[in-house]
Structure 1
Amino acid sequence: MMCSGADAVATGHYARTSLEDEEVFQQKHIRRPEGLFRNRFEVRNVVKLLQAADSFKDQTFFLSQVSQDALRRTLFPLGGLTKDFVKKIAAENRLHHVLQKKESMGICFVGKRNFENFILQYLQPRPGKFISIEDNKVLGTHKGWFLYTLGQRAKIGGLREPWYVVEKDGTKGDVFVAPRTDHPALYRDLLRTNRVHWIAEEPPAALVRDKMMECHFRFRHQMALVPCVLTLNQDGTVWVTAVRAVRALAPGQFAVFYKGEECLGSGKILRLGPSAYILQKGKSKSRVAVEGPIDSPSDGPGLGPVV
C-alpha cells in the first residue's frame, strides 16, 4: 500500500474496526493535507476487528487472518450500515446495476457449473469406495475422496435413501457414510488448530494468564456462533472444546474466534476429537464389559455384575 502512495484502502467488506473513521469523511470537501492518515497509523494502539452492524452480512469470518498493519490502514465504509440501507443509497443515486446484482453464493470463482467436473479438470480421478460407518458394508464407488466434504450428501448409485459423508481416508481413498443427516458420526465437540493468528493480541492476555479462555467460534460463514473453551498449547496451537457437539467439523476449515463483537483471529483445523458415534460405541462396549452378556448361561440368578 505504501509503495502505491496511498495512505489507506477502503473496502466493501461488511466489517468494522476499533478505529474511528468519522474525521476522515468529514474532510472530504477540504483539501487533503499531506499524509492524512499518517499520524493515526503511527500511534501503535492495537486495532480490533469488529463485527458489522448487519449481522447477517458480517464478513469478519473472511478477514480473520488479516494482519495488524493491514487492518490499521483499512477503512470499512459499509461496516455500520445494513445491506437494505446500502441498496436504498444505490436507488437514490440510480445505481440500478447494483440493485439488480444477485447475492454471490458458494464459490464465486467457480460460478454455476458442476463442482465435480470442475475439480476433475485439475486433479486425476482416484476411484474409491463408499463404506457404511455402521457395518463397513461397501455401498458403491466414487471418483475421488477429495470431491466430498464432511456433512455432504453422497450420491450413491442404486440407493434411494440419503447417505452423508462422515469420514474420509485419503490414503486408501475410502469415503465413510452414514444414513441420516443427524447421525451421531457427524457430531464432534473437540478440535485442534494450527498456530492461531491473533489479530489484536498475540495471544489474548486472559488466555496467556489462565491457559484457558471462554469465547465463541464458527467454522462456516453465517453459522451460529458456538460457545467454547480454548486451551492454549506451548506451540501456539489451541484445543477447542465446544459446549455442545457441532455438525460436520472438517480438517482444513478455519475455526474463527469471537469475544463479544470482536473477531479475535483464527486457526486452521488440523485434528478432530472422536465423534459422538464413536463415543457411544465406546460406552456400549464398556457397559457390556461391566454388565456381562444378557441371559448368559454361565451367570446364575442373583449374581452381581461380571467385572
Structure 2
Amino acid sequence: MLAAGRRVACAVSGGVDSAVAALLLRRRGYQVTGVFMKNWDPLDEQGACSVDRDCEDAYRVCQKLDIPFHQVSYVKEYWNEVFSDLLKEYELGRTPNPDIVCNKHIKFNHFLHYAMDNLGADAIATGHYARTSLEDEEVFQQKHTKRPRELFRNRFEVRNTCPRPYVIRSCYLHHSGSVICKTPSRSRPVQRPDLLSESDLAGCFEENHFSFRGFNKKLRKEDSVRTWPSSRAKEKRGMSMGVCFIGERNFEKFLLEYLEPQPGNFVSIEDKKVMGTHKGWFLYTIGQRARLAGLQGAWFVVDKDVSTGDIFVAPSTDHPALFRDLLRTNRVHWIAEEPPAELVRDKMMECHFRFRHQMALVPCVLTLNQDGSVWVTLVKPARALTPGQFAVFYKGDECLGSGKILRLGPSVFTMQQGRNREEGTKKEDIDKVEPAT
C-alpha cells in the first residue's frame, strides 16, 4: 500500500478530535507519530494551567494507538508571535482571534519545520474541521512552483498541472473551520498567511476523515475513543476550548494580569446615560452581556470608544445598535494567492461571509480596494460584527480566503436616528413655510 511508506506527524492535544485524526491515519496505513506542543508556561502567571494534564492525555492516546510520542516546546515563540499580538489587539479596542494567529505561526510554521526536519515526516495533520479537495495520494503529487512576490499573482502564468487544491467547508456543520493540516514537500518554502495558500494546500490532508469526504460521527465513538485512559476521563474532553493553547480561564482576571486596568463608564446608547463602571474596554467585546450592578434585565455591549474609555450598551440582545451591514477588512489573504477572477475584473463580486465558525453563512457583495482590502456589504445586517475578528469568504462550499475586520459601517440604530433627524428637519421646514395668499 502506498500509504505504508508515508510518515505523518499528527499534532495531538489530548482531546478527541486530534485523537481521531491519528486513529484514521493509522487505519489508512500511514506511519504516524504523535506530537504534543507545549506553548504556554503555567509558571508565567498565577492560577491553574492544564498543559501538564493535556500532555499526559496525549501520551495515553498515543499509547492506545501504539504510535511514537514526542513533546516539543514553543513557549517563547508563542509568547512573541501570538500572545503579544493578542495583547496589542486588545489595547487597540479589538477582539483578536488567537487561534488563527497560532495556526499561522506555530502549527503551520514551527511545528511543520520540526516534523519535517527532526522527525523526517512527509506530512503533518491536526484535528481541525475542514476539508481539502485532494485525495490522499494527490497530496504527495503536488509540485511547488516559485511565484513572483506581487500584490496579485500574474493571472496568465502557467500553473501546476496537478489538481488545484482548495479548502471545503466541513460536512460537520457545527464545526466548519478553515484550514486544517498540510504536508508540503521538503523543498517547498513555508508560507505564513492568516489562512494557508493554494501552494500550501497542495500538501493538505483533510480534517479527521481524509478520503472519506465527510465527517462520520459514529466513527468518533468507535474503539471507546471517549473512554480511553485519561487523567480527566470524566471531565469535558470533547474539544479544545478557551484561548488557543492556554486553556479555559477566568478571562477578565487573566487579562488584568497582563494589561493595566483602564476604568471607564458603561453608557446607554439610547440616551447617553451612565449605567455603571468597568475596569477596561478590552475586557468586553461587541455582543457580550454587560454586568451592570443593580439593574434589572440584560444589557449588551454594542460599541466601544477607546479614546474616552466608554463602553456603549443597549437593553436587549437584538437591539438595532448591534446590527450592521457594512465592514472593511485589511488586505485579504486569498487561498489561491490572488483574488477571484470575477472580483479582479469587475471590482465587485457576490459570495458568502461569516466571522464566527458556527455562524450561518450570509450573502454579501465584496468591493475590492487598490490595497487588497475589501468592503463587505451584507445582504442583511449581521449581529455583533467585531473588529479584530476575521471575515471569511465562501463560494458554495469552497473557502476563498479571509481578512481581519478593521472598520465597521454605521449600525441600524444609527441609521434609524439619522432618518428620524432628517424627517424632523423636513417637518420643521414645512411648518416654517408661510401659507399662500
Cα gap change, 1:92/1:13 in structure 2, threshold over 3 Å: closer, same or farther? Answer: closer
* One-letter amino acid of the structure 2 residue matched with residue 270 of structure 1: L
Correspondence list, 1:252-291, <5 A: 252-291=388-427
In structure 1, stretches of 5+ residues that fail to align are 25-35
* One-letter amino acid of the structure 2 residue matched with residue 129 of structure 1: N
**Residue 322 of structure 2: aligned partner:** 186
**Residue 219 of structure 2: aligned partner:** 86
145, 167, 172: which one pairs with 1:54?
172
Task: Tell whether 2:342 aligns with 1:206.
Answer: yes
**Residue 249 of structure 1: aligned partner:** 385
Q: Deviations 1:221-277 (Å, cap 9, x if unpaired)?
A: 111010000000111000000000011001111000010110001000010000001
Q: Which runs of 4+ in 1 moved over 6 A?
A: 61-64
| CA contact 1:7–1:73 (8 Å) conserved in 2 | no
| CA contact 1:168–1:176 (8 Å) conserved in 2 | yes
Residue 17 of structure 1 and its aligned partner are, at CA, apart by: 1.2
SS in 1 for 2:312: strand
Cα gap change, 1:265/1:90 in structure 2, threshold over 3 Å: closer, same or farther? Answer: farther
Correspondence list, 1:4-23, <5 A: 4=118, 5-21=120-136, 23=137
* One-letter amino acid of the structure 2 residue matched with residue 90 of structure 1: D
**Residue 31 of structure 1: aligned partner:** none
Q: Deviations 1:7-64 (Å, cap 9, x if unpaired)?
A: 222222222112111x47xxxxxxxxxxx92x43348353211112222222227896
In structure 2, stretches of 5+ residues that fail to align are 1-112, 146-159, 182-193
> What CA RMSD, in Å, does the superposition of the two structures yield over aligned residues?
2.8
Residue 180 of structure 1 and its aligned partner are, at CA, apart by: 1.0
CA distance in 1, matches of 2:254, 2:144: 46
Correspondence list, 1:135-214, <5 A: 135-214=271-350
TM-score by length of 2: 0.60
Q: Percent identity?
A: 56
Cα gap change, 1:299/1:40 in structure 2, threshold over 3 Å: closer, same or farther? Answer: closer
**Residue 33 of structure 1: aligned partner:** none
CA distance in 2, matches of 1:47, 1:161: 50
Residue 115 of structure 1 and its aligned partner are, at CA, apart by: 1.4
| CA contact 1:61–1:221 (8 Å) conserved in 2 | no
Count of residues paired in the alignment: 287
Correspondence list, 1:73-152, <5 A: 73-76=203-206, 78-79=208-209, 80-82=213-215, 84-91=217-224, 95=228, 101-107=237-243, 109-152=245-288
Q: Deviations 1:164-192 (Å, cap 9, x if unpaired)?
A: 11110111111011111111111000000
| CA contact 1:61–1:256 (8 Å) conserved in 2 | no
Q: Deviations 1:102-147 (Å, cap 9, x if unpaired)?
A: 3334435454432111111111111001111111111111000100
TM-score by length of 1: 0.84
Residue 209 of structure 1 and its aligned partner are, at CA, apart by: 0.8
Task: Tell whether 2:185 aligns with 1:67.
Answer: no
The higher radius of gyration belongs to 1
- Greater strand fraction, Structure 1 or Structure 2: 1
CA distance in 1, matches of 2:349, 2:421: 34
Cα gap change, 1:176/1:214 in structure 2, threshold over 3 Å: closer, same or farther? Answer: same
210, 217, 220: which one pairs with 2:356?
220
**Residue 3 of structure 1: aligned partner:** 117
Cα gap change, 1:49/1:292 in structure 2, threshold over 3 Å: closer, same or farther? Answer: same
Task: Tell whether 2:159 aligns with 1:41.
Answer: no
Correspondence list, 1:18-29, <5 A: 18-21=133-136, 23=137
| Bigger mean CA offset, 92-101 vs 53-62 | 92-101
| Bigger mean CA offset, 207-216 vs 91-100 | 91-100
**Residue 94 of structure 2: aligned partner:** none
- Greater helix fraction, Structure 1 or Structure 2: 2
Residue 85 of structure 1 and its aligned partner are, at CA, apart by: 2.6
**Residue 30 of structure 1: aligned partner:** none
| CA contact 2:367–2:374 (8 Å) conserved in 1 | yes
